[in-house]
């Protein structure tokens, strides 16, 4: 059996892992995740790269969760000839029906906007590239097969697949894949997907897995520890209180799926605890609105604390003024609000969507604040803000950064170093091979060394992109 890491090796985005094995004299192949690279021109180049094999020769795909860095190139792959089944959980599939059409729309909207600006002589550099169409998304969605947690299916001869809850976002899964090659005993491959924080809001704790022969583990925050829930709440209260006193706006870039719902929980809960006053919150993302409605549909999958907080909000609607923006004109109207608003909008890395407009209007204002709540990839606008850029280019224009920028890591949907090691301690025996992926080089290196030292596991590998590894 061989694994080739096509993405998320030495970086966070572009998760896609190809597995080859022999069955009845034939080479079989499947892929776990097929995500989009994000952040800068290099990401665009990688998204356009052809696979090193014919997409028609892929037997099936396993999708761990709906985030675009894990799912975002599936429509392109299907359009290129992959016609097999794509396995995911029910909630993931429902989220994809929101996320993937929105992804296609944003790509074409960005391209059309850039072409207009180029015709007007206001665009510099290369035009953005649309990777797939809405029609290609609709075709790809017909290839999905849903699988509930704990159920087992056989996608092809010699393979058994099971999902367990990863506690990351709604529908997120750890993939347990048992592979039996001809003439050999079965090997269990465990793909962590993205592992959530133990004790975090909304999602249950990630399921502990007891056995793996081959383990692929994420390392997004493998080199650091998140702030505690209490410290996170305190920092949120301070930033929001101080900004409202200055009569500024609070702009929160947020991933539409998972992060937006977590932020809403925190804000509502802080008002419930009388730690914040009455708040005026606008969620300006059609996708986030749809994802929030879907979260309500899967209410029983949330943790008890989150269910209690949202029940309180439903019974006390006057305590928080929460509005979901529907159309573009309503979104533009938010630009007239000079103070007192909390605006939550996508995309989470600030590279596309309505958030860019809100940043353009609020970054030059020293009264306002921007709260960064999630990972920002190298090359993304969000990363430049985190790295304290004095000015940024938005829609072809230089914009000064006078607003205060705050990074609140305790809201992350990813486990930190301690959380990852805690999850890994659930294995009863050391896996034969451990591959550390989905992290920038420093994060992966620190986690790999911690696994060797604290768990005394020997064969811990940080794979290189496009290289083959025998297992």
pLDDT digits (tens, 9 = 90+) for 82-127: 999 999 999 999 999 989 998 998 899 888 988 898 888 888 888 8
Residue 403 token pair:
């607003």
Identify any residues that bridge with 251 across adjacent strands, giving them in sequence order.
343, 370
Q: Is 23 helix (H, G, I), strand (E, B) or coil?
A: strand
Q: Tell which wins on pLDDT, 374 or 324.
A: 324
pLDDT at 410: 78
Handedness of CA 60, 64, 67, 69 (dihedral sign): negative
| Domains of the chain, residue spans | 2-224+413-470, 229-411
Q: How far is CA 160 from CA 100, 121, 181, 427, in A?
A: 27, 56, 12, 20
Angle made by CA atoms 290, 232, 282, in degrees to the nearest 5: 30
Cα dist. 259→26, 46, 338, 348, 446 in Å?
43, 26, 25, 8, 26
Distances (CA, A) of 127 to 48, 124, 144, 338, 410: 14, 8, 32, 32, 36
Q: With cut-offs at 50, 70 and 90, classify the pLDDT of residue 310.
A: confident
pLDDT value for 124: 81
Contact 240, 342 (CB under 8 A): yes
User: What's the token pair of residue 72?
Assistant: 């975002």
Q: What is the rounded average pLDDT of the residues 195-220? A: 93
The strands making up 187-191's β-sheet, listed across from edge to edge, are 152-156, 159-165, 173-179, 187-191, 214-218, 433-437, 460-461
**Has residue 214 got a pLDDT over 90?**
yes
Q: Which of 45, 40, 97 is nearest to 74 (CA)?
A: 97
Query: What pLDDT, on a 0 to 100 scale, did the predictor assign at position 211?
Result: 97
Structure tokens at 431: 């896996």
Angle at 113 between CA 107 and CA 115, to 5 degrees: 100
* pTM confidence score: 0.86
Q: Does residue 200 register a pLDDT over 90?
A: no
Domain 229-411 has CATH 3.40.50.10890: yes
Tell me if the domain spanning 2-224+413-470 has CATH number 3.60.15.10: yes
Q: What is the DSSP letter of 24?
A: T
């Amino acid at each position: 059996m061989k694994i080739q890491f096509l993405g998320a090796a030495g970086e966070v985005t572009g998760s896609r892992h190809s597995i080859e094995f022999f069955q009845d004299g034939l080479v079989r192949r499947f892929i776990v995740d097929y995500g989009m690279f994000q952040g800068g021109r290099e990401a665009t180049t990688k998204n356009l790269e052809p696979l090193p094999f014919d997409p028609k020769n892929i037997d099936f795909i396993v999708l761990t969760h709906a985030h675009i860095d894990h799912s975002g190139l599936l429509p392109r792959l299907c359009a290129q000839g992959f016609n097999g089944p794509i396995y995911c959980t029910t909630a993931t599939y429902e989220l994809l029906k929101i996320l993937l059409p929105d992804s296609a729309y944003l790509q074409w909207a960005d391209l059309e906007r850039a072409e207009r600006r180029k015709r007007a002589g206001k665009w510099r550099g290369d035009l953005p590239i649309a990777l797939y169409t809405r029609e290609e998304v609709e075709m790809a969605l017909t290839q999905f097969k849903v699988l509930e947690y704990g159920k087992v299916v056989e996608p092809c001869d010699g393979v058994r697949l099971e999902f367990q809850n990863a506690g990351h976002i709604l529908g997120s899964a750890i993939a347990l894949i048992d592979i039996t090659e001809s003439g050999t005993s079965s090997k269990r491959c465990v793909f962590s997907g993205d592992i959530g924080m133990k004790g975090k809001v909304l999602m249950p704790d990630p399921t502990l897995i007891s056995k793996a022969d081959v383990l692929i583990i994420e390392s997004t925050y493998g080199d650091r520890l998140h702030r505690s829930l209490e410290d996170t709440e305190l920092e949120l209260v301070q930033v929001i209180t101080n900004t409202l006193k200055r009569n500024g706006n609070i702009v929160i870039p947020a991933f539409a799926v998972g992060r937006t719902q977590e932020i809403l929980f925190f804000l509502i809960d802080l008002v419930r605890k009388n730690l914040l006053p009455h708040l005026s919150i606008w969620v300006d993302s059609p996708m986030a609105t749809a994802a929030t409605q879907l979260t309500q549909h899967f209410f029983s999958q949330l943790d008890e604390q989150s269910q209690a907080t949202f029940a309180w909000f439903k019974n006390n609607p006057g305590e928080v003024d929460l509005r979901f923006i529907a159309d573009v004109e309503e979104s533009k109207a938010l630009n007239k609000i000079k103070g007192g608003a909390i605006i939550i909008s996508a995309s989470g890395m600030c590279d596309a969507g309505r958030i860019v407009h809100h940043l353009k209007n609020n970054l030059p204002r020293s009264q306002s604040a921007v709260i960064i709540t999630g990972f920002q990839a190298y090359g993304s606008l969000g990363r430049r803000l985190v790295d304290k850029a004095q000015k940024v280019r938005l829609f072809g224009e230089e914009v000064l950064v006078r607003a205060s920028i705050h990074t609140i890591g305790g809201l992350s949907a990813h486990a930190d170093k301690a959380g990852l090691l805690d999850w890994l301690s659930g294995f009863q025996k050391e896996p034969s091979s451990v591959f550390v992926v989905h992290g920038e080089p420093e994060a992966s290196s620190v986690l790999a060394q911690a696994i060797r030292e604290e768990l005394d596991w020997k064969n811990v590998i940080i794979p290189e992109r496009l290289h083959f590894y025998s297992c």
